[in-house]
Copies of this chain bind each other. A is one copy, B any other.
Amino acid sequence: MLNRVRSAVAHLVSSSGTQSQRPKSPDLPNTTSAPSSAPETPRSPPARSGREAGAPPKTAETRASFSRPTFLQLSPGGLRRADDHAGRAVQSPPETGRRLPWSTGYAEVINAGKSRHNEDQACCEVVYVESRRSVPGANQGLCFYYWGLFDGHAGGGAAEMASRLLHRHIREQLKDIVEILQDRSPPPLCLPSTPGTPGFSDHSHLVSPQSCWSPQKEVTHDSLVIGAIESAFQLMDEQMAQERHGHQVEGGCCALVVVYLLGKMYVANAGDSRAIIIRNGEIIPMSREFTPETERQRLQLLGFLKPELLGSEFTHLEFPRRVQPKELGQRMLYRDQNMTGWAYKKIELEDLRFPLVCGEGKKARVMATIGVTRGLGDHNLKVCSSTLPIKPFLSCFPEVRVYDLTQYEHCPDDVLVLGTDGLWDVTNDSEVAATVDRVLSVYEPNDPSRYTALAQTLVLGARGIPRDRGWRLPNNKLGSGDDISVFVIPLGGPGSSYS
């Protein structure tokens, strides 16, 4: 995520005076529209549930310092090596220690000096969801497997906080629907009162679909899980907004999350990380990237409908390059929020403003500042040399795709690969698929170290090796100078025994 926020660090202020001036994000519903479980949102540090693994809650002081995922089990010396820009040692969980759940492979490497610390964070957990109901004989709770990659920018605070708490928000959201998910009948459209009230413990109080008058939409169990994940992302973002002053939640982060629940993988992506499945050599995209280019029309529409968000500094129109004052009256190519093609328009005074969306590829920016349009945090992010907030243009909502593990036969070489953009900047889906094939064929199908070896190879291959003026790939192209983090999740083989 390096280079994705231009000059933003200098403008991250923890001013208490700006909060009230900041317009409420138009992407967020009113508080009254938010899921009513908001008051039960876990707070930092949250109470830990019985079967939940993970790091103990940290105090504000320790959190402000550099940290790596606890599953790496780094000693103080190991932590220093992981933080060394010159060596760029690839980090993985130790072979001798506790393995990651689901035989997951993991590897990471710090950037080549572009930021002080590795701003990526990761989480891999088995999470138990207890029902809010506590009646004897009621259905049991549920377990979900959870993987999260968080690619921080303009500081590591948001990524670190998300890696500690997002799965707990998901757990809280799922608590409401534990029984519903385990019941084959369609979800009830309506539930009496708030969860946890006495009435809720009586199953007969559920308003059955039959009692609702037609027509009514069919709501699937899948879409309840998707809704729970979406709500959890929103509540995580709101928590960051609330705690940004007291606990120094600096910067923002992309979030790529996988939830395995009841036979299905839910892949939720907000940002420019990427998930792909390699199944029998075939590539199945499980996410798409959210950038100023891919979300141009959403951003422009918002700027058009809410021009106050642009101040007097920006125009919602896009031009192929910056318009110059001497071109006033001439006709230049442009496109607005409705257009995918280009047309000519006569240049007027307002068109001399800086375009809301500019640049191409990795250099594309919103308000000349940020290169990614979805994620968590960034509540303090302002336009360079301005008080104009950028957060209203950013969405904290992920796109969730579902993969039904039970629909396919999987072999031990079928994997789901998650990587931050540091990986994908210098490689592509096909190259990763080729590496999957090459590396896994060397290891026995039941060798527990094969998926971590694959993750390490992917990270090493994207990082390159030090040669004159940079980390070079075998083809002498420049390797990724960014932080790189990779999860490899087997869809068949040893991991599937967990399902």
Contact = CB atoms under 8 A, between A and B. Distances in A.
A217 B320 contact: yes
A329 interface: yes
B344 A191 contact: yes
Given A217-B360, A331-B193, A224 B341 contact: yes
A365 to B, nearest CB: 11
Interface centre among A215, A317, A342, by most chain B C-beta atoms within 10 angstroms, is A342
A372 to B, nearest CB: 17
A330 B191 contact: yes
Contact of A227 (B192, B321, B337, B339): B339
A290 B215 CA distance: 22
Interface stretch (A87-95, A345-353, A444-452): A345-353
Contact of A341 (B223, B302, B320, B338): B223
Query: How many copies are assembled?
Result: 2
A189 B335 CA distance: 12
A200 to B, nearest CB: 9
A404 interface: no
A219 interface: yes
A71 interface: no
Contacts of A34: 345
Interface string A145-184: 0000000000000000000000000000100110000000
Contact of A346 (B36, B177, B219, B346): B36
Interface centre among A215, A337, A359, by most chain B C-beta atoms within 10 angstroms, is A215
Interface stretch (A54-62, A110-118, A229-237, A434-442): A229-237
B189 A340 contact: no
B228 A341 contact: yes
B193 A341 contact: no
Given A194-B346, A224-B343, A230-B340, A305 B305 contact: yes
Given A35-B343, A230-B343, A330-B190, A219 B338 contact: no
Nearest to A336: B29
A218 B32 CA distance: 45
A193 B344 CA distance: 11
Nearest to A226: B341
Contacts of A329: 193
**Size bin of chain A's contact surface:** 35 or more
Interface centre among A34, A228, A231, A319, by most chain B C-beta atoms within 10 angstroms, is A231
A223 B335 CA distance: 10
Nearest to A173: B343
A27 interface: yes
Interface string A260-275: 0000000000000000
A363 interface: yes
Contact of A321 (B212, B320, B322, B336): B212
Interface in A1-57: 26-29, 32-36
Given A32-B350, A192-B330, A215-B360, A338 B304 contact: no
A332 interface: yes
Contact of A219 (B177, B231, B333): B333
Contacts of A321: 189, 212-217
A344 B214 CA distance: 19
Contact of A231 (B228, B322, B327, B343): B343
A226 B34 CA distance: 40
A225 B338 contact: no
A395 interface: yes
Contacts of A343: 35, 173, 224, 227-228, 230-231
Contacts of A222: 341
Given A32-B350, A321-B213, A193 B330 contact: yes
B189 A341 contact: no
Nearest to A399: B340
A102 interface: no
Nearest to A177: B344
A229 B343 CA distance: 10
A169 to B, nearest CB: 12
5 contacts: A177-B344, A191-B332, A195-B331, A219-B320, A226-B340
**3 tightest Cβ-Cβ pairs between the two chains A and B:** A226-B341, A227-B341, A216-B321
